[in-house]
Structure 1
Amino acid sequence: MNNNLALKLREGTSHSHTLAENTAFTKCFLKGIVEREPFRKLLADFYFLYSTLEEELERHKEDPVISKIYFPELNRKPNLAQDLEYYYGKNWAADIFPSVAVQTYVARIREVSQVEPTLLVAHSYVRYMGDLSGGQSFKKIARSALELPEGKGTQFYEFEQISTPEAKGKFKGKYRDGLNELPIDEALEKKVIDEANHAFKLNRDLVHELETDVREAIGDHVFELITRQDIPGVTENPHSKGHPHNLVIAE
């Protein structure tokens, strides 16, 4: 049994965090450039992604490994449905389509669920710990940029059962404890870390598909000005705590 998988995951995915922070889509988001069309497409992709992830986690919830990090209060599918109704209307389910990138992402989740369910831990970690951390800053940026009405358009980022910053901090500690209690050996531990890095790549591919929409909305010149400079990796820099770009760290 491992004793510090949570720390190993954080350290083992630090470079992937940096790459995620430096996608053009994220750089624009950090500058407050959030366009309605690519944002609603992102939420639509997330609907397909989280529907699959949550279905597979539930399928294996009695598994001795998955049970340690299975928390239904994290489920995003119902909240995403609310957002999609806001952005697409009552018939949203008929109007959304999965991008090529999210189809690949979903296929990978189903594959690991069938072949080696323990690797679902990596996908859970990358998604939910990110939503509870940097996702909360993304919520504020989106609400301001899109001038959203109260309670509309960003329900994806709302965790009703973990609603306060204090509750989120406590829950993340509970989640890390679960990671550290996983009954897995070093070889499987390495596979989980490798899969977490792969999950970050799948997410980068997903947002890359939205960059054309952003570029068209703001123009080539502004897009290039914003995206040409790299953001220092906050998880690779031990002195970066509190860094304003600390938005996509999974933990």
Structure 2
Amino acid sequence: MPAETAANGPADAGTALFSARIREASWSRHQGLDPSADPDAAKAPGVFDRLFDGSLSVDDYTRWHAQQYFVYEAIEAAAVRFADDPVAGPFVFPELARVPAIEADLKFLMGPKWRSGIEPLPATKAYVDRIDEVSADWPGGYIAHAYTRYLGDLSGGQAFGKAARRNFGFEDDGASFYVFADIKSPKVFKEEYRARLDAVDLPEADKVRVIEEILLAYDHNGAVLDALGKVLGRNPFEPKVIAAICHHMNTDHAADTLVICQGVGGQSGAETARMTGFDGDGADFAAVVDGTEVPIRVDWAAPLSERAEVRPEIVRLFTESKSSLSLGDAR
């Protein structure tokens, strides 16, 4: 959940406090993500809307949760780099770390093979790439992305956790991402966080850049939500089924997966490959070609809706791929 502007409203015009400047600059972005901001807007219900009205399926909730994993993994990798930095270090709080909680939630939602069943959407990858790029050596980059996510989680994000527990019957597992057990008072914590923003040792040009980066973080988050919104309810397979089959293909049939990518996947030069997911229309793979991983989409012969239908289709893809590659060798 991007930052906490909804709870505070726009800052007073002309204020010199850095935290207030951030809130004022990001107010319109926050309103754009808030499902209650414009009730008359003509748009299809998105992830937030469906979570709050109770119509979001647990499968789509899981897919949303999975995309957040990649974002927080990137932010928390940057936190390790900046832990001792005199500028960014004061914003590295171990009690904010979300990756262990997301991992626990995904294990609960998808089973022990959960990692094989998640892959960043293109919009998520762009978001992660931006976090990696801007926080590689600039303290302000880490501050911008950490602020946008964590203070949002402590504010409006708490309503997400309540909705998930109410809709899906979760107690701890499944929504532990929203539980900050080591923060006794979110209000006091956020006040301290904003005080550190106001005292941060950054030149004015860098403060402006931080604000711009926060706005970009909102835009990236919005792009991920839009991408998820376009596929809500469209995948007939449970995430745990996808994880189990992908894990099986990538561990027990890695050579077959490579053949599929080289054959019907059209990447004859693929060096390694893995299955990354599937839906009712086709399967997704990632293959390393000339040292670079490239995505591959292969359509099923006909739409699928049952787990039992997946194996015969994978066998068909392998058989056709092996045949085409053999013919190519013969020529």
Identify the TM-score tier after normalising by the shorter chain: 0.7 to 0.9
Give the residue type in structure 1 aligned to 2:166. Answer: S
Q: What residue identity is the alignment partner of 2:172?
A: G
User: Residues 44-59 of structure 1: matches in 2 within 5 Å?
Assistant: 44-59=66-81
Structure 1: tracts of 5 or more residues without a match? 218-251
Q: Could you say which structure has the larger radius of gyration?
A: 2
Aligned to 1:198: 216
List alignment gaps of at least 5 residues for structure 2.
1-14, 36-44, 236-331
Q: 2-side partners of 1:10 and 1:56: how far apart?
A: 23
Q: 2:232 aligns with which of 201, 210, 214?
A: 214
Greater relative CO, 1 or 2 (CA 8 Å, sep 6+): 1
Query: Hey, what does 1:129 align to over in structure 2?
Result: 151
- The one-letter amino acid of 2:111's match is G
Cα displacement (A) at 1:80: 0.4
Q: Matched residues in 2 for 1:9 and 1:154: separation? A: 29
**Amino acid paired to 2:210:** V
**Structure 2 letter corresponding to 1:203:** N
Offset at 1:93? Answer: 1.4
2:178 paired residue number: 157
- The TM-score normalised by the length of structure 1 is 0.80
Tell me whether 1:176 sits opposite 2:189 in the alignment. no
Distance 1:71 1:63 in 2: 13
- Find the partner of 2:50 among 28, 53, 58: 28
Identity in percent: 33
**How far is 1:146 from its partner?**
1.6
Counterpart residue identity of residue 71, structure 2: L
| Structure holding more helix per residue | 1
Does the 8 Å contact 1:44/1:96 carry over to 2? yes
Q: 1:215 to 1:96 in 2, by over 3 A?
A: closer
Aligned length: 212
Letter in 2 for 1:196: I
Whether the 8 Å CA contact 1:34–1:142 is kept in 2: the answer is no
CA contact (8 A) 1:113 1:119 kept: yes
The alignment's C-alpha RMSD in Å is 1.8
Matched with 1:62 is 84
Q: TM-score, normalised by structure 2?
A: 0.61
- Which residue is equivalent to 2:109? 87
Counterpart for residue 5 of structure 1: 18
Instruction: Tell me which residue corresponds to 2:125.
Output: 103
Alpha-carbon offset, residue 156 of structure 1: 0.5
Q: Higher strand proportion, which one?
A: 2
2:250 corresponding residue in structure 1: none
1:47/1:80 contact within 8 Å kept: yes
